[in-house]
Amino acid sequence: MSLVQDSIRASSMFFYGTLSQDSSIQAEACKWYSRALRGLHGLLSQASSHFTGDVICATVMLIHFEHLAGTSGDAWVQHVKGASKMLEAGGPESCRNGFLHQLFRHLRLLTFVASIYRNEQHAFALPEWTNIPFQIHPKTAFDELIDILFRLLPCLSVADKIITATTNTDDWLRGRLNTMVLDIIFQLYKWWSQCISMLSPVEAPADEWMNANKKHTNEDPYDPSHFPLLYHTDMPTAALGSVYDSANLIALRLLFLSSTCAYLYEERIQRHAQSILSAKEFIAAVPGPSSGRL
């Protein structure tokens, strides 16, 4: 339990010290972080194949500490990988309910960001990890968007092969990448259609999201002149919309490796980029500790 307490104390103290611009509180938080880190290393050295929710929670708190403190360039990535590995050890069935289910949902976006940062594949993108943990508690709009994000990871792997290809197999790889990316664009379009049919997709409970009727539009999801954007009126929608815009940016940029028509999407790319900047400005204008965190 002391590991959990130390990690929570470290992250919360550093957060408060940052808000209050008090370097002494931040310094004290770093001491608690070091203590929590030593405790975590001690547990990991025991080579246990099963980790409790407390230990995984402590690791997640260390992730949030590193997001604020940035003690080293990729320390947060190491913590994300460590926490996700602990969940993997228990299998997807252990993440269907309770505290581990909540930790799993919390870690999914962080895991995707860490994976794309390192250009690595991840087990959470596998079908068993995108389905089994949600057998009891259905997916929300956010959960389904993360599913689509994970589908980008294999695309990056194919893109790397195209870039480094030295044989004529690159034409086959380009065709494969093009098919994969177009499917993601279509999935993003379906997700967007469902969102705009609801007043507040972010706050909608899972059952409401799953039963929502997709708004029928006449637009072609692949039409470069169609700009499927989410317009934010509150902070949660702004944050969700930024994740959605980021997914579109990655997918559309990948088209430049697979299609000679990719240049047609330049304006759509600019619209999504501007939407992210607009959301950042919107959140920064909201008073409170969350401002500027996007």
CA distances from 242 to 210, 238, 280, 294 (A): 22, 6, 8, 9
Mean pLDDT of 130-142: 95
pLDDT at 28: 94
**Nearest CA among 231, 227, 230, 229 for reference residue 265:** 227
Say yes or no to pLDDT of 291 above 60: no
More confident call, 114 vs 166: 114
Q: How many CA atoms lie within 13 A of 238 on its CB side?
A: 20
**Nearest CA among 114, 90, 191 for reference residue 147:** 191
Assess contact for 134 and 127: CB atoms under 8 A: no
Average model confidence (pLDDT) across the chain: 88
d(CA 104, CA 83): 9
Split at pLDDT 50, 70, 90, the class of 95 is very high
pLDDT at 72: 81
d(CA 84, CA 286): 32
CA-CA-CA-CA torsion sign (275, 277, 281, 286): positive
Neighbours of 131 (CB within 10 A): 12
Least confident span in 168-182, 197-211, 248-262, 274-288? 197-211
pLDDT at 218: 66
Say yes or no to pLDDT of 290 above 60: no
Least confident span in 213-217, 226-230, 266-270? 213-217
- The pTM of the full predicted model, rounded to 2 decimals, is 0.88
d(CA 112, CA 84): 11
**Nearest CA among 103, 160, 143, 151 for reference residue 127:** 151
Mean pLDDT of 147-173: 89
Direct distance between the N- and C-terminal alpha carbons of the chain, in angstroms, rounded to an integer: 31
Split at pLDDT 50, 70, 90, the class of 292 is very low
Mean pLDDT of 5-30: 92
pLDDT at 45: 75
pLDDT at 233: 82
CA-CA-CA-CA torsion sign (54, 60, 62, 65): negative
Assess contact for 113 and 76: CB atoms under 8 A: no
Q: What is the DSSP string of 6-65?
A: HHHHHHHHHHHHHHHT-HHHHHHHHHHHHHHHHHHHHHHTTT-S---HHHHHHHHHHHHH
For residue 138, give every residue at least 6 positions away whose Cβ sits within 8 Å of its Cβ, in sequence order, or none.
Answer: 206, 207, 209, 210
